[in-house]
Structure 1
Amino acid sequence: MPTRGLAKEPPSEAGDAERRRAQVDAFVAEFVGSATWKATLAVLEAAFPGLGMASTFSRRTEEVWRAIGGLDRGSAHRLGLPVWADGAGMVFDLSAHRRPGVAGRTARPRASRPYAGAYVIDTLDPLRYHRAVGGPQGPQDGPRPQVQALEEDDTGVVIVADLTTAGVRVLDSVALWRFAGRIVTATLHDPRRPDTRVRTRRALRALRRVVFVDPRLGLGVCLQIDVARTPRCLLAFAVDRTEQGAPRFVRA
């Protein structure tokens, strides 16, 4: 005789799905309209010119919600690479996109702060997307007054980067956070200047949202770092240069 439990989703799986749904809902509600969101739109506008990114997504939160789909086989196809979920959000397999023998970047990454509470680091073509008008900047720029926003408890960074240079074939939330940490550290810390160590630590502690934009892959991934310093990749988006329209968002 079948038991009652067989007709229901296992409690642990149901609880995990509900918990992740709540995490994603809270992240999207906080992310859309934030300084990090505005910086992301500005970077997308420059990285994918002619598609009207900023104007398309300068909307109310409710309209953005309708453009976000769930993670399934179709969404993996839209993102252009294998993607699945684990306990911390989305995981991306970059195997088909890695390019052996690619030379490392020649220019040191620099950061600019186009919006209060968010800054941009461009590792591919420094200062292409935002001129440094309010800091932080690279340590080679000489002494500057401490940027108060770096000491706040709620800061976001948008990083323009080639995700295949992260050093691993499969990118999960932890690998993405480590990659972001290396980039922030390489941008702000100069071993010859002890004062930049403090600035870098403050910047890393303040980070709550990280967005990677990879123009070559047409891919963006969004991380949330909670109060326990746990990174979760809860949102991703794909941009098709051949289409006139908005990025296609996928939630974990």
Structure 2
Amino acid sequence: MTGPARRGGSVDAFVDEFAGSTTWRAMLAVLESAFPGLGMASALSRRSDVAMHVLDRKAAAKLGVPAWRDEAGMVFDLSAQLGVRTVRPGRGRTVPPRASRPYAGAFVIDTLDPLRYHRAVGGPQAPRDLPGEGALRVPSGAEEDDSGVVIVANLTDAGVRVLDSAALWRYAGRVVTGTLREPGRPETRARARRALWALRRVVLVDPELRLGVCLQIDAARVPRCLLAFGVDEGGAPRFVRP
């Protein structure tokens, strides 16, 4: 993305495909659980489009962290958060993360509270644990192949001060691999590889920072952060684009 026109076209195309996708719906299920009682899923599902602000100083303030544009989308500075954040009471780390699938084509990994599954919005059934071998299909390479993941996490666990698209993708890869690979089961390595290869959209939600970031993984496996949102105290998500 070398110019404003090309950047705008890429973002428009991503948002058009993302809004209403299974990954979008899984994100709404996560937001409904992460910010209960605010009706976020209902409010967003009624919208035919997503109102966005182009990233500038004022829009960055809506995200709650310093942010700026680069060639791959957006970059976020978590310097003020490093070393001062703690795990919330009741959010134990003794239970390893587990993947659930509230909708076909997208799955959810909650690294903060693995025992709290995110129920599909508007449906009575609870999300299912992903079964073992074969849970995530091997993509054929066709354009319609698509899979997404929504990861609930403390973004400072990525271990870097500045999160650009590459750092976000590396962190998401570690979470997906660490969740889907099981000790003593070598066959789960192939499952994790297939999951990573199939991913086209990645959403990371940090409930404590009230921040979400959305990645597009293009055909060349290049990650681009083309959408982010901050959630204000009233429960309204403020979407920002590069």
Whole-Å separation in 2 of the counterparts to 1:121 and 1:31? 19
**In the alignment, what sits opposite 2:122?**
none
State the Cα RMSD in Å: 1.9
Which residue pairs with 2:130 in the alignment?
136
Query: Contact 1:29–1:61 (CA<8 Å) still a contact in 2?
Result: no
- How many percent of aligned residue pairs carry the same amino acid? 67
Note if contact 2:138-2:198 (Cα within 8 Å) is conserved in structure 1. yes
Residue of 161, 167, 170 corresponding to 2:159: 167
Deviations 1:187-229 (A, max 9, x none): 0012421110110000000000000000000000000000000
Please identify runs of 4+ aligned residues in structure 1 that moved more than 4 A.
Answer: 100-104
Checking the alignment, whether the CA contact within 8 Å between 1:237 and 1:247 is kept in structure 2 is yes
2:202 aligned with 1:247, yes or no? no
**Which TM-score applies when normalising by structure 2?**
0.88
Q: 1:40 aligns with which of 11, 20, 27?
A: 27
CA contact (8 A) 2:98 2:129 kept: no
Shift of 1:102: 5.1
2:39 is aligned to 52
Higher mean C-alpha displacement, 189-198 vs 219-228: 189-198
Could you state the TM-score of these two structures normalised by the residue count of structure 1?
A: 0.85
Matching residue within 12, 16, 20 for 2:3:
16
Q: Is contact 1:57-1:246 (8 Å) kept?
A: no
1:115 aligns with 2:103: yes
Partners of 1:84 and 1:236 in 2: how far apart? 11
- Partner in structure 2 of residue 206 of structure 1: 198
Q: Distance in 2 between matches of 1:129 and 1:38?
A: 15
Larger Rg over CA atoms: 1
In the aligned structure 2, how far is the partner of 1:101 from the partner of 1:237?
A: 20
Quick check: which one's helix share is greater? 1
- Matching of residue 187 in structure 1 with residue 179 in structure 2: yes
Unaligned runs of 5+ in 1: 1-12, 138-143
Write the letter of the residue equivalent to 1:136: L
The aligned counterpart of 1:151 is 138
Query: What is the distance in 2 between the residues matched to 1:184 and 1:198?
Result: 12
* Cα 1:117/1:92, change in 2 over 3 Å: same
Given residue 195 of structure 1, which amino acid in structure 2 is its aligned partner?
E
Corresponding residue SS for 1:61: coil
- Aligned counterparts of 1:224 and 1:127: Cα–Cα separation in 2: 28
Choose 114-123 or 98-107, whichever is displaced more.
Answer: 98-107
- Residue 207 (structure 2) aligns with: 215
Structure 1 position 146, deviation (Å): 2.0
Does the alignment pair 1:127 with 2:119?
no
Cα displacement (A) at 1:35: 0.3
C-alpha displacement at 1:101, in angstroms?
8.4
Q: How many residues align?
A: 227
| Uncovered stretches (5+) of structure 2, i.e. residues with no partner | 120-125, 140-144
Alignment-derived partner of residue 142 in structure 2: none
1:78 paired with 2:62, answer yes
CA–CA distance in structure 1, aligned partners of residues 129 and 114 of structure 2: 14
Contact persistence 2:99–2:108 (CA under 8 A): yes
* Deviations, residues 62-85 of structure 1 (Å, cap 9, x unaligned): 3x2xx2111011011111111000
Q: Which of these residues, 208, 232, 236, is aligned with residue 228 of structure 2?
A: 236
* Distance in 2 between residues matched to 1:102 and 1:214, nearest whole Å: 13
Kindly indicate whether the alpha-carbon contact (under 8 Å) linking 1:157 and 1:210 is maintained by their aligned counterparts in 2.
yes
